[in-house]
Structure 1
Amino acid sequence: MVRFVIIGVVIAVAFTLYALVDAAMTDGSRARGVSKPVWVVLVVLLPVIGGVLWFLIGKGATPAKRPVAPDDDPRFSGTRMSKDDLDLHMRDLEQRLRELDDERFPGEDQPRSDNDPDSTGEEQAGPDDDPAQK
């Protein structure tokens, strides 16, 4: 008989710990009835009953996400751009990409010009490189 009591206590403690961790880790917007901290206190003060109440009443379903309006991108709105508008849009995007490519931040190396003799595209030999091994 004592064996069953010990097993029952272990199961009750495990269930209470599981309910406590679940109540503490669940998003506060999913808690029904009372606020999330109150549910945590209930699970601690009423070990098995608090856990059962948490799973039956307190833990609500995942809240439905509100639909988000699509961007102004014509691919999402279903409208088509005319060929001229599309060409203009593409030129604008390409210009913005060129500006981003040319943008330099403090501490970056300066870009090499096409006239720079070091920018031939060939790898420069370092002090440790032995040309005979290549």
Structure 2
Amino acid sequence: MARILIIGGFLAVLFWVFSIVDCAVQPAERHRGVSKAKWVLIVVLLPVIGGILWFAIGRRRPGHDDSPLFRPDDDPEFLRGISRKEQDARIKQLEEELARLDDETDGTDNRS
């Protein structure tokens, strides 16, 4: 039983040190929620729990952006930038595609 506690304690210390180092070396823009200094303080003061919090909610993944994803037709800036003629052409294209899809589903045999 003592061996398990020693190994568990050793693993907890390793995780704690790894969490501190990872939090400290990440650029400030990769820290989510609070500032870099506060994250380091959280990880140092709450050894295992702070590390879990850091990896679960504090660390922003590379290439990950928290901004909402917009398709071009959802983006107000995009809509302001296109002309009325382009908007009408896009609507016509979408209506034609919808009609084509509707025709495909009407032609299928739905026997159970």
TM-score, normalised by the number of residues in structure 1: 0.46
Aligned residues: 65
- Which residue of structure 1 aligns with residue 44 of structure 2? 44
- Which residue of structure 2 aligns with residue 73 of structure 1? none
SS of the residue 1:34 aligns to: coil
- Which residue of structure 2 aligns with residue 15 of structure 1? 15
- Inter-partner Cα distance in structure 2 for 1:62 and 1:12: 26
- Which residue of structure 1 aligns with residue 97 of structure 2? none
**Compared with structure 1, are the counterparts of its residues 16 and 6 closer, same or farther at alpha carbon in structure 2 (3 Å cutoff)?**
same
More helix by share: 2
Unaligned runs of 5+ in 2: 65-112
C-alpha contact (below 8 Å) 1:43/1:51 kept by paired residues: yes
- Which residue of structure 2 aligns with residue 29 of structure 1? 29
Q: CA deviation at 1:62?
A: 2.6
Larger Rg: 1
Matches within 5 A, 1:1-134: 1-62=1-62
Greater relative contact order: 1 or 2 (C-alpha under 8 angstroms, separation 6 or more)?
A: 2
Q: CA deviation at 1:63?
A: 5.1
Report sequence identity in percent: 52
